[in-house]
């Protein structure tokens, strides 16, 4: 293998050499081609680096990135390239102590996909989903790849070393990263407030504009199309009408769900060990549900900004404004009923979906509890009864999700290994008996599917028992589950998939419908921008204006499928610049950390939402305008170049 050979599709890159302090060579990469690639041998990076990294646990880099766009950091060994995605803070020198176990080991035992692939660090964060894994006994060099960069981002590297113990991540030059409002300090953008006076003026201007706006025409109180009519039952249901699937709202009107996840009053970011990253800190908040036990002190700048806006009692006015925004923008479904609980008697309620949980106690493997234990059935029944009984007569509730992105489909053999290697359990005994007469991949797959089938049957039965009025929206599946998993979802009312693409893949939607016979709900999608210090999300647009166009393209092309009955965006608020619990810091909100909306996204959404009845009915085609991924490439080119799959 010729190590310095360029990867397929890569182009020439500017590499400038200078002499920083300490005598090391400063290496600079300008990512200015559709797939920009630079490779260096270890000798070029640091002549003292060994090729056998067995005795080392951390690759330590000092670098400065001009952009928050992710890049792929690869270890070139004698027989493979192992790479992981690095998400940097822009414009600051950092020390990144990168655990080599992410390169050596496969994916671990976490409850869902995000927890499996996102790994928080202090001065950057890393996604380990793709890029493979293997031994680091014969490392020849490092590679740096950026796909579809925008604005010709630059990466400077001044030190590459190895360490046996963690020297710690840190911001070496450029603290603090966040100002008192939670905004990135090293960038400016149109509308960025620097004082409370400026921020309050922006809030007043938006409130005045909303006061002159109105909800989209031809909508009933639930957000359904008032000019349509089917059977009214007082609750949401699904029906195939003239070959097209719809939600039907409580008044009997056709309903296409345009929803947003994460509608709430805050999202925490970790402070412990990073106190000097912040210009000032608001009061601590409780860690988000599912946060690891060592999450440390958490703060929410969005919550603090709501307190600036409304005072200590911010819930009711926040909920009223959120409901008003949703109506004006054409969003008719909230994830959770936080808004409805807070608007008060005079406020406008919105349709909502709920996630059920509570049976994931005890030892779990990839999010699945011991479904064969004596206590499982009773725990499920008790948990579901306590959650749905207060909601079973609520007409605003669209339905329930019973799980999120199980990470085991396609990893059944590893699942079985974890069960067999774990503590004694009824599931372990069942698996041992199943493999007693021979251990094959097929038997392992059947054992896991049998456990999953029982898992679903117990939950589905309890849900229908305690709430026969509302829809079972099933598990929000991530990625592309195998057909043998999809078939087990046929007893849901709706098949939900989380699909991060520039448009939902037609072949997958058709396959799901053929295998299950159920309508399809997009449970998560988004398009982000490398902007304001945040990463672009799983799908990138080059600017906020292009992000709005990307929203229209995705939603309209989803609605053009007769099997699809809604699209839910992830999520309402930008993630914290300094990262949520797993490090993720995506610029994907309808609202930024200062409670200001993204005008470009909203303008596009209003136009699209006004067209959905005609698009889903097949009367008009979806938009043909694709968004620009970057200033040197687009989504079509990305597909042609065979970029790694994302969810």
In the predicted structure, residue 565 carries a pLDDT above the cut 90: yes
pLDDT bucket at 5, cuts 50 / 70 / 90: very low
- How many CB atoms are closer than 10 A to CB 640? 12
CATH number, domain with residue 103: 2.60.120.430
Per residue in 393-430, pLDDT tens? Answer: 999 999 999 999 999 999 999 999 999 999 999 999 99
User: What distance in Å separates the CA atoms of residue 20 and residue 521, rounded to the nearest whole number?
Assistant: 54
Please check whether residue 567 is in contact with residue 555, taking contact to mean a CB–CB distance below 8 angstroms. Answer: yes
Q: Is residue 510 part of a domain?
A: no
Per residue in 187-200, pLDDT tens? Answer: 999 999 999 999 99
pLDDT bucket at 111, cuts 50 / 70 / 90: confident
- Residue 190's contacts (CB-CB under 8 Å, 6 or more residues apart) are none
- Residue 258's contacts (CB-CB under 8 Å, 6 or more residues apart) are 223, 330, 331, 332, 333, 555, 566, 567, 568, 605, 609, 612
Q: Is residue 107 part of a domain?
A: yes
Mean pLDDT (the chain, rounded): 92
Residue 25, domain extent: 10-173
Q: Is residue 534 part of a domain?
A: no
pLDDT bucket at 510, cuts 50 / 70 / 90: very high
Q: Is residue 79 part of a domain?
A: yes
User: What distance in Å separates the CA atoms of residue 269 and residue 480, rounded to the nearest whole number?
Assistant: 30
pLDDT bucket at 641, cuts 50 / 70 / 90: very low
Per residue in 426-461, pLDDT tens? Answer: 999 999 999 999 999 999 999 999 999 999 999 999
Q: Where do the H-state alpha helices sit in 369-478? A: 376-388, 412-421, 426-434, 441-466
Q: Is residue 168 part of a domain?
A: yes
pLDDT bucket at 360, cuts 50 / 70 / 90: confident
Look at residue 308 and give its three-state secondary structure.
Answer: helix
Q: Is residue 403 part of a domain?
A: no
Average of per-residue pLDDT across 130-158 = 96
Q: Is residue 245 part of a domain?
A: no
624 CB-contact burial (10 Å; exposed 0-12 / middle 13-18 / buried 19+): exposed
Pairing of strands 471-477, 397-404: parallel
Please check whether residue 583 is in contact with residue 126, taking contact to mean a CB–CB distance below 8 angstroms. Answer: yes
pLDDT bucket at 524, cuts 50 / 70 / 90: very high
Q: Is residue 54 part of a domain?
A: yes
pTM: 0.93
User: What distance in Å separates the CA atoms of residue 524 and residue 413, rounded to the nearest whole number?
Assistant: 28
Number of domains in the chain: 1
Pairing of strands 269-270, 298-299: antiparallel
Nearest residue to 405 (alpha-carbon basis) of 563, 524, 493, 490: 524
């Amino acid at each position: 293998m010729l190590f310095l050979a360029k990867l397929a599709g890569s182009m020439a890159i500017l590499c400038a050499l200078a002499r920083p302090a300490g005598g090391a060579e400063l290496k600079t990469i300008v990512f200015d081609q559709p797939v920009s690639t630079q490779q260096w041998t270890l000798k070029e990076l640091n002549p003292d680096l060994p090729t056998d990294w067995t005795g080392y646990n951390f690759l330590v880099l000092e670098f400065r990135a001009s952009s928050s766009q992710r890049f792929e950091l690869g270890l070139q060994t004698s027989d493979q390239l192992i790479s992981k995605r690095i998400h940097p803070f822009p414009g600051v020198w950092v020390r990144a102590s990168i655990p080599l176990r992410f390169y050596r080991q496969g994916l671990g035992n976490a409850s869902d996909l995000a927890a499996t692939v996102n790994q928080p660090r202090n001065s950057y964060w890393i996604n380990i989903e793709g890029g493979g894994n293997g031994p680091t006994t014969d490392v020849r060099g490092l590679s740096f790849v950026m796909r579809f960069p925008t604005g010709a981002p630059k990466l400077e590297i001044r030190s590459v070393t190895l360490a046996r113990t963690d020297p710690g991540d840190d911001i070496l030059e450029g603290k603090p990263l966040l100002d008192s409002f939670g905004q990135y300090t090293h960038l400016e953008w149109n509308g960025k407030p620097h004082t409370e006076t400026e921020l309050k003026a922006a809030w007043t201007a938006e409130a005045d504009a909303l006061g002159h706006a109105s909800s989209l025409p031809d909508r009933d109180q639930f957000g359904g199309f008032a000019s349509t009519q089917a059977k009214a039952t007082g609750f949401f249901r699904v029906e195939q009408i003239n070959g097209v699937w719809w939600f039907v709202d409580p008044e009997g009107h056709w309903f296409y769900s345009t929803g947003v996840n994460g509608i709430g009053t805050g999202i925490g970011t970790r402070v412990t060990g990073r106190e000097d990253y912040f210009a000032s800190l608001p009061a601590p908040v409780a860690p988000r549900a599912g946060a690891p036990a060592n999450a440390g002190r958490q703060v929410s700048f969005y919550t603090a900004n709501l307190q600036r806006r409304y005072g200590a009692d911010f819930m009711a006015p926040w909920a009223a404004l959120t409901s008003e925004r949703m109506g004006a923008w054409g969003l008719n479904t909230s994830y959770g009923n936080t808004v409805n609980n807070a608007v008060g008697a005079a406020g406008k309620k919105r349709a909502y979906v709920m996630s059920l949980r509570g049976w994931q106690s005890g030892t779990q493997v990839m999010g699945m509890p011991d479904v064969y234990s004596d206590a499982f059935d009773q725990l499920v029944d008790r948990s579901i009864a306590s959650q749905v009984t207060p909601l079973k007569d609520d007409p605003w509730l669209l339905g329930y999700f019973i799980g999120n992105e199980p990470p085991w489909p396609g990893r059944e053999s590893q699942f079985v290994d974890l069960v067999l290697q774990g503590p004694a359990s009824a599931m372990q005994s069942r698996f041992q008996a199943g493999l007693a007469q021979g251990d094959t991949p097929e038997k392992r797959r059947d054992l896991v599917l049998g456990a999953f089938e029982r898992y679903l049957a117990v939950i589905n039965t309890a849900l229908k028992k305690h709430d026969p009025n509302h829809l079972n929206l099933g598990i929000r599946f991530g990625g592309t589950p195998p057909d043998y998993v999809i078939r087990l979802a046929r007893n849901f009312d709706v098949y939900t998939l989380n699909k991060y693409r520039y448009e939902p893949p037609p072949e997958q939607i058709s396959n799901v419908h053929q295998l299950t016979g159920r309508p399809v709900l997009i449970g998560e999608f988004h398009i982000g921008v490398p902007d304001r210090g945040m990463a672009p999300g799983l799908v990138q647009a080059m600017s906020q204006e292009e992000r709005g166009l990307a929203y229209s393209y995705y939603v309209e092309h989803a609605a053009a499928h007769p099997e699809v009955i809604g699209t839910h965006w992830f999520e309402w608020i930008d993630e914290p610049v300094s990262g949520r619990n797993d490090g993720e810091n995506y610029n994907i909100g309808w609202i930024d950390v200062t409670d200001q909306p993204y005008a470009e996204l909203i303008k596009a959404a209003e136009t699209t939402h006004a067209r959905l009845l005609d698009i889903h009915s097949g009367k008009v085609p979806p938009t043909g305008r694709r968004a620009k991924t970057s200033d040197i490439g687009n989504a079509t080119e990305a597909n042609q170049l065979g970029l790694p799959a994302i969810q």
